[in-house]
Amino acid sequence: MKKKNILNLIKYYAEKNDTAFRNEAYEIAKYFDSNNDAQLSEYIMAVLADANTLSPQTTNKITMRFIEPMVIQDDSLPLPEELRDNILGILNAISHNNGVNKFLFAGAPGTGKTETAKQVARILKRELFVVNFDVIIDSKLGQTAKNIAVMFEELNNISHPENVIILMDEIDALAMDRINHNDLREMGRATSAILKGLDSFNNKLVLIATTNLYSSFDKALIRRFDSVIDFNVYSQEDLLLIAESLLNKFLAKFKFAGRNIHLFRKIIKCMNPIPYPGELKNLIKTALAFSSSEDEFDYLRRLYYSISKKKEISLKDLQNKGFTVREIEILTGVSKSSVSRELKGLKL
């Protein structure tokens, strides 16, 4: 970090240039992250998330048939640098208020699309409303398209659109390819209704849609979005670092659990491939929640069993995977001396 970074921060703060201030602070966070100080980097990002640098939230009294409020909690999933840069771009685009307001998050389940949408709303101090597709989709011929038209009309008449983000989570429910011969005509009408709605969408509102099936997405609909963010960008090293970050976060809550990052990383590497953050989060949280408070490393044993999907663990198999005698003792509950004797016996 250079002196100019600090000077720029002071300058942008004095000028009340929120976008430039946030960008400069983000660059400082990246500097610390690249210099192996992830904790300080994450602290800076958390402060930025909590800082009210944009419009104050104004509660909207919204009563609609097809959308409902979504609770926003500070439960974000760690993101790789490429995704963080894209999300920062979205925050900038929204703060510029120049009509770039429709974003599509594409990626496999568990990549953090929905959680990221929640965090965008939290950072911007906006209320988040999710479209309820279960209510919109109707068995009556043509009614689904009519419901979509009504939904967009209601959205466009929100009293304080500058304080709202609309989430269309798993929009695949409606927006499949209109020319797909396996699709129903009714869904084709629904997609056409969404196209019309997006063409007249209030540019003061922010829309985030998510999809797990981007390859089957209607191409005309894709063009209605200002930006498509690909969430399938995690490398295995990214996922390993994210797993470690999730563990550190949960260990702060489970005080009885011990910290053995070296063994934890070995266990995670046993998964090939390492799953996306959503699944990692559930695996780690469940292992800790189910573990005994009398055994500080019971969660590591449970985590390995859930990953290996075996009722019994072979000592030789653990050794072949690179686990030390002490690590095998932790994972099996067999004493180091017994592990050593049995492994020596296997060599004879």
- Mean pLDDT of the region 278-307: 94
Mean pLDDT over the full length of the chain: 84
Could you tell me which of 107, 122, 111, 128 has the C-alpha nearest to residue 48? 122
pLDDT at 47 over 80: no
140-197: pLDDT as tens digits = 768 888 999 999 998 998 888 889 999 999 888 776 544 444 445 666 788 888 999 9
CA–CA–CA angle 89, 44, 15 (5° rounding): 65
pLDDT at 274 over 90: yes
Helix boundaries (H) for 257-332: 261-269, 277-290, 298-308, 315-320, 325-332
Predicted TM-score (pTM) of this structure:
0.75
Between 339 and 51, whose confidence is greater? 339
- Mean pLDDT of the region 46-70: 57
Between 1 and 271, whose confidence is greater? 271
Find the radius of gyration of the CA atoms of the chain: 24
211-222: pLDDT as tens digits = 998 888 878 889
Q: How many CA atoms lie within 13 A of 235 on its CB side?
A: 6
Between 4 and 131, whose confidence is greater? 131
Q: At 286, is the pLDDT very low, low, confident or very high (cuts 50, 70, 90)? A: very high
Kindly report whether the peptide bond that precedes residue 277 is cis, defined as omega within 30 degrees of 0.
no
Share of the chain above pLDDT 70, in %: 84
250 CB contacts (<8 Å, ≥6 apart)?
284, 285, 288
- Mean pLDDT of the region 63-73: 78
227-252: pLDDT as tens digits = 999 999 999 999 999 999 999 999 99
H/E segment holding residue 153: helix 143-156
pLDDT score of 186: 62
90-102: pLDDT as tens digits = 999 999 988 899 9
